Structure 1
Amino acid sequence: MSLASHLDELSRKHSDIERQINAAMLHPSIDALEIANLKRRKLALKDEIEKLKSQPTSH
């Protein structure tokens, strides 16, 4: 998998989790712990995206 396609996939997952968080916050029956876990996953993806973007390319 190329770096660009990997970054695209991570960005898609990040957006998916953001939508899940927004939807969960609209439903009072959703556990706050579940929302916190989603936010943690979203942050981990963001960190991984930033780490990959900051790596020098070797061509």
Structure 2
Amino acid sequence: MTIEARIRELGNRHRMLDETIRRERIHPSVDTLEIRELKTRKLKLKEQITSLEARTG
């Protein structure tokens, strides 16, 4: 897989997590621990994307 393809894949996963977080926040019984975990995973994806983008140029 090329770096660009990996960046796109990670970006898609990042957007999906963002949507999941948005849905969880409007849920009547918000699980703050779950939201925190999702945000942590989203941040790690963003860090990976940034690192890969730095390698490409």
**TM-score scaled by length of structure 2:** 0.92
Q: How many residues of Structure 1 are paired with residues of Structure 2 in the alignment?
A: 57
Amino acid at match of 2:18: E
Unpaired segments of 5 or more residues in structure 1? none
| Equivalence for 2:19 | 19
Q: Which secondary structure does the structure 2 equivalent of 1:28 belong to?
A: coil
Structure whose CA Rg is larger: 1
**TM-score scaled by length of structure 1:** 0.89
The higher-RCO structure (CA 8 Å, 6+ apart) is 2
Unpaired segments of 5 or more residues in structure 2? none
Q: Provide, for residues 3-47 of structure 1, a one-character-per-residue CA deviation record: whole Å limited to 9, x for no partner.
A: 111000000000000000000000031310000000000000000
Moved over 6 A (4+): none
Q: Once the two structures are aligned, what percentage of the paired residues are identical?
A: 37
Pairwise CA RMSD of aligned residues? 1.2
